[in-house]
Chain A
Amino acid sequence: MDLLTLLWLVPIIGMALVLLAPRLLGRVVSLIATLATLVISVLVWQQFSTTEGGTQLITRVGWIEQFSIQYHVGVDGLSMALILLTGVIAVIGVIASWNIGAETHREGTEKAYFAMYLLLVAGMYGFFVAQDLILFYVFFELTLLPMYFLIGVWGGPRREYAAIKFFLYTLFGSVFMLVAILALYFQSGPESARTFSIPELAERGLGLPVTVVNWLWIGFYLGFAIKVPIFPFHTWLPDAHVEAPTPISVILAGVLLKMGTYGLVRMNVQVLGGASEKLWTFLAVVAVVNIVYGSFCAMAQKDLKKLVAYSSVGHMGFVLLGIAARTPEGLNGAVFQMVSHGLLSGMLFLIVGVIYNRAHHRYIVYPDDPELLRLYHIDPSKAGKPGFGGLATTMPVYTGIMTVAFFGSLGLPGMSGFIGEALALMGAWRVYPVLTIISAIGILLGAAYFLWTIQRMFLGDENPEWEGLPDINGRELLALVPLAILVVVLGVLPWIATNLSAATVDGLQVVETMRSLAKL
């Protein structure tokens, strides 16, 4: 059995074991399964050659021979970084789910939760290793069902609405993707030589008329844009995040959103790079909209979790900008920013979870909406008043780890967020100077809302309501500290991640043409 197959098979086996094991052993089994996949990802990393640009560690066997649908898995620089990220986030998620039954007031449902969780993990790994378009699509869809239940059963008060919204949005996107996949297959060659294999499609260069490439590009774009999410398809994200339980928010922001941007690089850049410049400029423009609009929305939020969710919209904009530029710096920056944002947003949602578990609300400022006050059992007289304040005195350790995450996210040099954003902006500068300047404003906005949040929640006078709040506990630290370490390590030694993707990015044909353009 090759390592890449094990990556998605081990969680599936883990899922079966969870269902067979006694109720409280589910979390132990899940921890073992996710740790095992993390170890496998590291083994894959060891066997992975960073000097080779193409797909490596390939397993390719026939599946549905007549249509050349194959079981075809492999890794290259784009997927390697994301596989490692998935490995880390999956383990963190299990640690954060340790008391999920009690925390969500759904005792007795732990087995179902961890079974769904592992199915989700399997889908994510499978998506990142798939090199056959049908397999790619199957894994893409496979993540939807568990996610629906994880939000819909273990989520907050409006969980059912958020879960079905997430499902419907993503499914609508994948409709266009599937049509594009089938059309791409049909165009991939004469009848005897048609293929669903992504590396082959990229190699063939297709030689299709630009209009056809553009339509295919748009099909894939719609599928991935909803997943990322790109403005104006982003409205499912805040709802999903607000309702999802903490560990699921961590997975959602940490890995699931990256499926969208990974797909864009994999399909739109690698296979359909020949789409007309207008489309790429369009992508750059929506990237900037994501950055600026997401940041402004974040600033307006009273709910800390919603703020973090909108900050994700903004930060994913930098990934998009790097992709739209298609320069080596831009694409490397995009991959780096995906990893960095995965780690940082994971931290942010864990931090939100810590305060929510203690205070049972997470409002920076209590809302005025009576409906929300009722849902979260908040005394109506508190409407409009600050929700917290002076937490730095009550919860000093928590405040410390929060600082790492917030400053990392706002792009402080020395942490990973800075490198990702800087690389993406550097890459984009050569192609879209004006847009790059506008998006740099997004960094300022990011600093503004994060610092403002720190000021309102952690500094100032202690709020008497939360005087005896216990500080962060060992398990929560166990989830947060590894991420904090990785954030700092990647900030200081960014080449660990950029080395992974560099060779593959250099190999992308589009970049070559862009380089020659830049020289002119």
Chain B
Amino acid sequence: MNMLGNLDSIQYYVGDTLLLGLALLVVVIDLVGRGRAHGVTGVASLLSIAAVLTVVGVSPAVGDRLFYGMVRADSLARAFKLIIGACALLTLLVSLRTAEVSTRLRGEFFALILFATYGMFLMVSASNLLAAYLGIEMASISSYILAGFLARRTRSSEAAFKYVIYGSVASGVMLFGISLVFGMAGTVDIAVMGERLAAAPPIGVALALVLMFAGLGYKIASVPFHMWSPDVYEGSPLPVTAFLSVASKAAGFGLVLRFFRDGMGSPAAMATVDWPLLLALVSAVTMTVGNLAAFGQTNVKRLLAYSSIAHGGYLLMGVVAMGGARGSESQAAVLFYFLAYLFMNLGAFYVVLHLAAPGRLGSEEISAYRGLIRRSPLAAILMSMFLFSLIGLPPFAGFWGKLYLFKTVIDASLTSGGVNGHSFVWLVLLGLLNSAISLYYYFSVVKAMLLDDGDDTSRVAVNPLYAALLIVLMLPTLLLGFLTDVSVVEDQLTDAPAASVAKTPVP
């Protein structure tokens, strides 16, 4: 467990560096092609992200802290990078031909996705609050532009504007929190701050933590920092919405996991600020508000936006359980859920994306989906399966994801001592009740597609290539629980416990 200097660190940071270089290359190609080379930029971006994914996938996870403790390339970072990268790859794939983005601007669009991905990579690998802040800003600023990419559509401009305002307030507040941490701990190194904060006045630490959570909560769209997300999700171009709902959330959770694991995971830190309880409350409110708000939505995209807030609430349960005895299992449960979420959520969004095209349904309203089973059985059945999985019905992937999340919370709660002295069985019960409630609004879409008869009965043509992509997303949604399980994920997470990291000397 060493602290490495800049030159020694580079060898473990190849994937990220490569991504940055290739993103710049895409910009250059776009500039040279004067906006006419969108085909080339598209393929170049796809190849770049594929190359980066390969490099990240094969590079070993190292415990060493890189660049004088700024970032880590451990297994947690790698796992999240793979999920974010896969999401970016799929996003590029569906945006290659999307009608929403004009061909002239596509080069920039692709480059921005790559830059946002780089920012997210930095978020999940940062082990210093300033690096984390840089990552957040990099991801956010790229995302602001992506959200407002449809300049002529007022909805899109509104989305971008809201996103910018909420985002800058949140990051400003977070920065203030970081400065408080620096004031009390004399460091912004995540691995070291916990030990020092334990000696600081609890009220100050709690304040700093709450302020910082404004930034983190904004990224994972947890209540009360979720207000931006339905409007942004609704107004953004659909590939961007799907990208934000999975990759951006994953990046946020990567950072949250690391922050609480390495920074605040020690018993002393938990004694100073009872963050498991705080997060449990946030989780409870987030999933409930997300689900209740999804009721009565008439727009599928907006419905999925609220549902993704609720899923953020479920995922926070895993972070809560990390304060308990089986921290590594809890992390693995969060990751497993993300794996399931990647396929089912993107799948659902991509069906909506495809059907929203003018030649097909031309709308994202639930009423337009009426009788879809007769117009395009494939689209209707695939969409239903993604929704079943989002509800968490067995045997779909979402069920296993929830099962492991709930199980880790129960295990942590019932072990003597509980999670920092608390039992969170009530949170599991609430999570399950929320899943049961969520059935109702997901099924409003299923009902419209499969049970209702629509006025229009003309066939809706699904592009065969696109259908193939959807089926590729559907197979893991159906089979993930049988192909793998959370212990496989846990075996991949080989990081040393936070305590041993914290003991390395600071230069």
Contacts and interface: CB of A to CB of B under 8 A. Distances in A.
B388 A145 contact: yes
B407 interface: yes
Interface of B: 388, 393-395, 399, 403, 406-407, 410-411, 414, 425, 428-429, 432-433, 435-436, 439-440, 443, 447, 450-451, 485-487, 490
A149 B450 CA distance: 8
Interface stretch (A170-178, A231-239, A300-308, A496-504): A170-178
Interface stretch (A135-143, A315-323, A429-437): A135-143
A187 B436 CA distance: 25
B447 A152 contact: yes
A223 B443 CA distance: 21
A179 B432 contact: yes
Contacts of A65: 487
A3 B450 CA distance: 35
Interface stretch (A39-47, A160-168, A363-371): A160-168
25 contacts: A66-B487, A67-B485, A134-B403, A138-B395, A138-B399, A144-B393, A149-B450, A149-B451, A152-B450, A152-B451, A160-B451, A168-B439, A171-B439, A172-B433, A172-B436, A176-B432, A179-B406, A179-B425, A179-B428, A182-B406, A182-B407, A183-B414, A185-B407, A186-B411, A186-B414
A415 to B, nearest CB: 39
A66 B332 CA distance: 13
A183 B393 contact: no
Interface of A: 64-67, 134, 137-138, 141-142, 144-145, 148-149, 152-153, 159-160, 163-164, 167-168, 171-172, 175-176, 178-179, 182-183, 185-187
A153 B451 contact: yes
A164 B440 contact: yes
Contacts of A171: 435-436, 439
A391 B440 CA distance: 43
**7 A-B pairs with least C-beta separation:** A66-B487, A175-B432, A138-B394, A171-B436, A64-B485, A182-B410, A186-B414
Contacts of A164: 440, 443, 447
Given A175-B432, A175-B435, A141 B443 contact: no
Given A64-B485, A137-B394, A168 B407 contact: no
Prevailing SS type, chain A contact patch: helix
Nearest to B414: A186
A183 B436 contact: no
Contacts of A176: 429, 432
B440 A183 contact: no
A145 B393 contact: yes
Nearest to A144: B393
B438 to A, nearest CB: 10
A89 B24 CA distance: 67
A158 to B, nearest CB: 12
B485 A183 contact: no
A187 B414 CA distance: 9
B479 to A, nearest CB: 14
A149 B394 CA distance: 16
A197 to B, nearest CB: 16
B451 to A, nearest CB: 5
Given A160-B451, A175-B435, A178-B432, A186 B410 contact: yes
Given A145-B393, A179-B410, 4 more contacts: A64-B485, A141-B394, A172-B436, A186-B411
Contacts of A185: 407
Contacts of B414: 183, 186-187
Contacts of B407: 67, 182, 185
B451 A142 contact: no
A432 to B, nearest CB: 32
Contact of B425 (A153, A168, A183): A183
Nearest to A141: B394
A500 B273 CA distance: 60
A134 B490 CA distance: 20
Contacts of A163: 451
Nearest to B325: A191
Given A65-B487, A171-B439, A183-B414, A142 B429 contact: no
A179 B451 contact: no
Contacts of B451: 149, 152-153, 159-160, 163
A172 B434 CA distance: 10
Contacts of B433: 172, 175
A69 B411 CA distance: 15
Contacts of B425: 179, 183
A505 B426 CA distance: 35
Contacts of B485: 64, 66-67
A144 B392 CA distance: 13
Contacts of A175: 429, 432-433, 435-436
A163 B439 CA distance: 12
Contacts of B395: 138, 142
B440 A168 contact: yes
A164 to B, nearest CB: 6
A311 B406 CA distance: 39
Nearest to A142: B394
Given A153-B450, A179-B432, A141 B439 contact: no
Contacts of A182: 406-407, 410, 428
Contacts of A153: 450-451
A140 to B, nearest CB: 9
Contacts of B428: 179, 182
Contacts of B436: 168, 171-172, 175
B176 to A, nearest CB: 40
A64 B487 contact: yes
B443 A178 contact: no
B475 to A, nearest CB: 16
Contacts of B406: 178-179, 182
A64 B485 CA distance: 7
A183 B447 CA distance: 34
Interface centre among A67, A144, A159, A160 (most CB of B within 10 A): A67
A435 B414 CA distance: 38
Nearest to B402: A178
A145 to B, nearest CB: 6
Contacts of A187: 414
A336 to B, nearest CB: 31
A175 B414 CA distance: 18
B411 to A, nearest CB: 6
Contacts of A137: 394
Contacts of A148: 443
A277 B490 CA distance: 43
Contacts of B486: 66
Nearest to A182: B410
A179 B393 contact: no
A286 B451 CA distance: 36
A257 B12 CA distance: 59
A167 B394 contact: no
Interface centre among A142, A167, A172, A179 (most CB of B within 10 A): A179
A142 B485 CA distance: 20
Nearest to A172: B436
B410 to A, nearest CB: 4
Nearest to A178: B432
B394 A183 contact: no
B435 A160 contact: no
A175 B403 CA distance: 11
A315 B89 CA distance: 58
Contacts of A145: 388, 393
Interface centre among B425, B432, B435, B487 (most CB of A within 10 A): B432
A167 B439 contact: yes
Nearest to A134: B403
Contacts of B447: 152, 160, 164
A168 B440 CA distance: 7
A174 to B, nearest CB: 8
Nearest to B488: A66
A380 to B, nearest CB: 27
A180 B420 CA distance: 23
B404 to A, nearest CB: 9
Interface centre among B393, B411, B451, B485 (most CB of A within 10 A): B451
